[in-house]
Structure 1
């Protein structure tokens, strides 16, 4: 058996994805903008607004994004993992919900966490990886040696703002509103960025990277995380009109000379407004008999920044076409959260609100809300080789699905830790789409704004601890949560997108499902305490349980434990978490069944697993994660109700001497190896 296992190990090592590239692997570009509302994009909302021709309701056009949507797919029920920047981005890059993320609430500049990132998954599959733009997940310490600098978590290259706060200033040198900021290339501060508007700067650098990559490594796929810091907050203007042309034949260009880094680094800083907005007027008093008045300068600015993003994306898409790589490049465009009304705008523009353009679309809520307006994001996916033009995906999905989606597209194993699912079936129209697990938790002081467009029942509502969960068409929302027994407001958002008709009174069963489900998807984090952290995770009822577990084995060449997607090599009934009677077919072992908790209370689980990858879920809760690092001792604490709880335990056999021992510290403080008698199938 030892010889067979060594031969198997050698063969799988030779076939690791990082050793070569499949000719079908697409390039992948993930474009993430900052605080862009669902209602900001023409094809999602503004075009409809224009068609009504109500002069009291101004509109913005986004022709490039509309074209991208027409040629690809619109995801009309796509959510962000959190309604604010840093936790949203952390969940995206880690592929987990906020109940499992290391960065939660308003933990800006915190390290992203010690686990697999989207970049690491794709790098292992043979991709060159690059991050450009806003980061804000680097952790404590003195730069440039932050613990989770992008190039320490899977990116080969980085260019942009490392610190979260730097992204509030869209001119690194001049610092009109918040002072000068530092842009890093790798671990070095970039000098000579005079008059560089960051949206232009990041786009020019992205184009430059793609050009050089195609010249030097045309047969290697690339993954680009392009994180804009616009239109966020300070709504600064570019120096000049967008350069004519686009792609290879114009548009933004990287020049690379100090003081002249890009071809728009000239003219007057914070000066250019698109002509169609500069002279725009509107019916301010909703009286057609009185003269229209000009748009306030604040909204001319916002419209310009919004339109500039559209031009930048169009320029990038044209480059892919010019290089003849557009057909096999998957480009995703989305936002980190809903529209904002930030408090640190300069005084002359402090009157800005998302009401002028209704950036929240048909929804209530903005950034920091868990109503639809804070979480629903206008999302577009473009991949002509796979996605038919004019595709509309109405099935609900969420931003932490993108790790699994990109891995699926690249033919890479998806780490078992992810809470997401691949969206390729719904995007391509091929195969069965697995349902997304849509869950959000967040805490924030303040209230829902008193916007006239919002329902009176929502205006001024205290936020506090909040949760959102979606199942099918039904969305559960809780604001100012005090206790696990607080009821969810429940809405059918397909019929009631503004969430005005709370149907919770007639949905007692669904109310119970939501209350149970939110406890089965998360684990407490002492740095982001919740009022339901010590609520008991409900057990399930089993009619005729049998002693023992089912052990399945799978064949994988993944360097980490993947989500099993193939047929099991073997299935064996075993007494417990043991290797007895398990065949050597397959190097990944999965024990499935139930753990019977003898008494309600807090159980702290731990594991001794040698130098092997290990992972354990109870319900959908990631209880112990030894899948990333082999150095730590996996541990996790849960408050469990007495009774049966579904369990999945994964183990990657890296040698022919597998060892695994599981322990718990029970509510009475007894530390012991988990007894065989508690395992059921």
Structure 2
């Protein structure tokens, strides 16, 4: 089994991606990037992923949706059949996507809606630092401070404070539950912001899916030819999530520059569908739709006509946007990504005379078990389509596992830089371009929700009504480790070969040849995360497992790199200029080596199980990992020589350590690292390092 040969720190495999040592990205080759994120859209909702095959298999016996524009996008690009959301609910999922951090490191976890996204690297500011103009349009929900405030001045983590030059959309999470912000038909929420200005009052009859699309088209058109900068857009729809409201009218004919949705810009008539009757139009393919189980003709309930119309509206919007790229002659130089934030939801937020929307009507979860809030595949496996003419092959299928926080390092590589050292993701550029070797993604998810998996007939009996509570999922190669309702922090993982067992019905954990993988899962989930007091877990009290060394000796390997980067980079994506071994941090004269950056790698020896405090300071930027866990992040916003202190529970034995360091000023001793064990002599001592 190949997983047994995985290196201990799989995220630091050395490869060369062709970056120069003094990168000067060719701006003429930097692609525009549009990242489209939908809300609660399931893997099974798209034709190309599931609905088309469902129609072939069942004909009229089961209801069926169509997504012709997304199917066409897939035919012109690549579908990802094993792509994961970082979490099974929107706030933590979006926080991980935007930050490039897993749920083992992201500051927004569980159900922490409206919590401030950490002031660190984001998709927005890494693209800004790479020379892009950036925009976030649609749903945000990570602004922080008082979640109920209508005063935008109190929000510390607005998009414009997290790397986006322009924002138009819903700032608060709760606003995304209403799709007519002015009329507020079903929910007394809905406040639209343009940067720091509340613009809600002018938005008569504006259905948000239409509003975000029209604004996106206007902004893209304004950027084209306006300056020499490429653009990055994060377009986050709030549909088909929450209240299943309908548009005012049919999608305008045509598309692109002169057709489809258009920004009018007149108060009361801001977009060209701001007329007619709000919440009134059902797509004609679904208006009189029926299905015939056992030969009996049954009309679709209106709830599902609404859901299908909402999905089709997004489909039409994507076709409209792609036509715009063609009309503006930027199609070949624009990468478009389409995906969702988590699995489908059974919420509908419609009044009592409507039946509840349940994902089993269309099998929105696809060939999987689980929905939103499950870490079963149906809650976290996402449809993803990537389109970039003449760069991504047509009709391509990628079946390699990946996860949403892979996109930040993917985009930085596309624009000519290695990823920030703090990123947990893996660049997907080799997969997208079919050039080079794709490194494995590091797929880890943790989540808590006090609920149960629904008991749909499509799910295996063991998953119906299953208590969620604390959940954990990790994937290595084809094998998924899964834990639900964790009460014993040392409990075994269920193990599934997910590509062969989409419903996760055959638990392989009882097989004796899985014992090694079981132990590996238990070790890895502790070695790739940090405790977060706002999201306590049953396994927080466990010590991070150590490893054994056969022939340890005092020393620390170092690699030196020259260059200029907008952040402390993941130096393992570069070729070192110089290498060597020193006996310790304070024994190495950094001023004698003319390099700008260093990676120092070795092992620390923990004398006994316990809680250890690490004291740290650096003259410039630095980052330290123990195993895959981020011990110290002193890059974004770090003030030189500022002292930081971090605590980790560590098992007796050796632990791999990786120190990333910037030293452009050629300081002789640019970093200080000391430690002590809690409850013993708490006088900090220099860390002693080992090599094998």
Any conservation in 1 of the 2:470–2:486 contact (CA below 8 Å)?
yes
TM superposition shift of 1:15: 7.2
Matched, 1:227 2:236: yes
Q: Tell me the SS of whatever aligns to 2:36.
A: strand
Where 1:349 maps in the other structure, the secondary structure is coil
> Equivalent of 1:599, from 585, 592, 608?
608
Deviation at 1:428, TM superposition (A): 1.1
- CA distances 1:573-625 after superposition (whole Å, capped 9, x unpaired): 11112362444232111110101111111112220213x11110000000111
Match of 1:236 in 2: 245
2:298 corresponds to: 293
Write out aligned runs for 1:211-360 (5 A): 211-217=221-227, 219-283=228-292, 286-288=293-295, 290=296, 292-342=297-347, 344-360=349-365
Contact 1:233 1:341 (C-alpha < 8 Å) held by counterparts: no
Partner residue, 1:6: none
Return the TM-score normalized by structure 2: 0.93
- Among residues 141, 154, 167, which one is paired with 1:136 in the alignment? 141
Match of residue 522 from structure 1 = 529
- For 1:465, which of 470, 476, 479 is the aligned residue? 470
CA distance in 1, matches of 2:263, 2:43: 31
1:181 aligns with 2:190: yes
Deviation at 1:215, TM superposition (A): 3.6
**Partners of 1:86 and 1:103 within 8 A in 2:** yes
Q: Deviations over 1:308-367 (max 9, x none)?
A: 000001100110011111111111000000000127432223421001100000000000
3-state SS of 1:494 partner: coil
Q: Secondary structure at the match of 1:315?
A: helix
User: For each residue in 1:275-324, what CA deviation from the matched residue of structure 2 results, as whole angstroms up to 9, or x when unmatched?
Assistant: 110011111xx322x4x121100000000001000000110011001111
Partner of 2:543: 536
When residues 92 and 140 of structure 1 are mapped into structure 2, their CA distance, relative to the original with a 3 A threshold, is same
Match of 1:571 in 2: 579
1:90 aligns with 2:99: no
The structural deviation recorded for 1:426 is 1.0
Q: Which runs of 5+ in 2 are unaligned?
A: 1-20
SS of 1:432's partner is: coil
The farther-off stretch of 44-53 and 366-375 is 44-53
In structure 1, the residue matched to 2:220 is 210
Cα distance in 1 for partners of 2:660, 2:606 equals: 20
Residue 43 in structure 1 maps to residue 52 in structure 2:
no
**Superposed displacement of residue 78, structure 1:** 0.3
Distance 1:110 1:335, change over 3 A: same
Matched, 1:675 2:680: no
| DSSP 3-state at the match of 1:77 | strand
Displacement of 1:665 after TM fit? Answer: 3.2
- Look up the match of 1:585: 594
1:605–1:676 Cα change, 3 Å: closer
SS at match of 1:122: helix
CA shift for structure 1 position 189: 0.5
Q: Is the 8 A contact 2:244 2:349 kept in 1?
A: no
Alpha-carbon displacement from aligned partner over 1:383-428 (angstroms, at most 9, x marks no partner): 1131010111100000000000111111133110000011010111
Which whole-Å CA distance do the structure 1 matches of 2:684 and 2:649 have between them? 18
| 1:618 is the counterpart of 2:629 | no
Please tell me whether the aligned partners of residues 621 and 635 of structure 2 are also in contact (alpha carbons under 8 angstroms): yes
After TM superposition, where is structure 1 displaced by more than 4 Å over at least 4 residues in a row? 14-17
Distance 2:58 2:402 in 1: 32
Give how far 1:452 is off. 1.0
Per the alignment, residue 398 of structure 1 pairs with: 403
Number of residues paired by the alignment? 660
The answer as to 2:366 corresponding to 1:361 is yes
1:645: which partner in 2? 655
Q: Residue by residue, what CA displacement relative to the aligned partner does 1:156-211 show, whole Å, maximum 9, x if unpaired?
A: 00000000000110000011111242100000001310100000000000000011
- DSSP-derived class of the 2:69 partner: helix
- C-alpha contact (below 8 Å) 2:42/2:343 kept by paired residues: yes
Give runs of aligned pairs for residues 386-425 of structure 1, distance below 5 A.
Answer: 386-425=391-430
8 Å Cα contact 2:176/2:242 also seen in 1: no
Query: Judging changes above 3 Å, is the alpha-carbon distance between structure 1 residues 669 and 629 closer, same or farther for their aligned structure 2 residues?
Result: farther
* 8 Å contact kept, 2:392–2:432: yes
Aligned partners of 2:141 and 2:604: how far apart in 1? 40
* 1:635 Cα offset (Å): 3.0
Rounded to whole Å, the distance in 2 between the matches of 1:581 and 1:91 is 38
Aligned counterpart for 2:664 among listed residues 648, 654, 679: 654
What CA deviation, in whole Å up to 9, does each residue of 1:110-146 have, x standing for no partner? 0000211111111111100000000000110453121
- TM-score normalised by structure 1 residue count: 0.95
- Structure-2 separation of matches of 1:654 and 1:571: 17
2:57 pairs with 44, 52, 58, which one? 52
SS at match of 2:612: strand
- Is residue 163 of structure 2 the alignment partner of residue 169 of structure 1? no
Flag the 1:241–1:488 CA change in 2: closer, same or farther, 3 A. same
**CA deviation profile, 1:472-506 (whole Å, cap 9, x unmatched):** 11111100011221111111111100100111111
2:139/2:170 contact within 8 Å kept: yes
In structure 1, the gaps of 5 or more residues are: 1-13
Contact 1:484 1:515 in 2 (8 A): no
Match of 1:115 in 2: 120
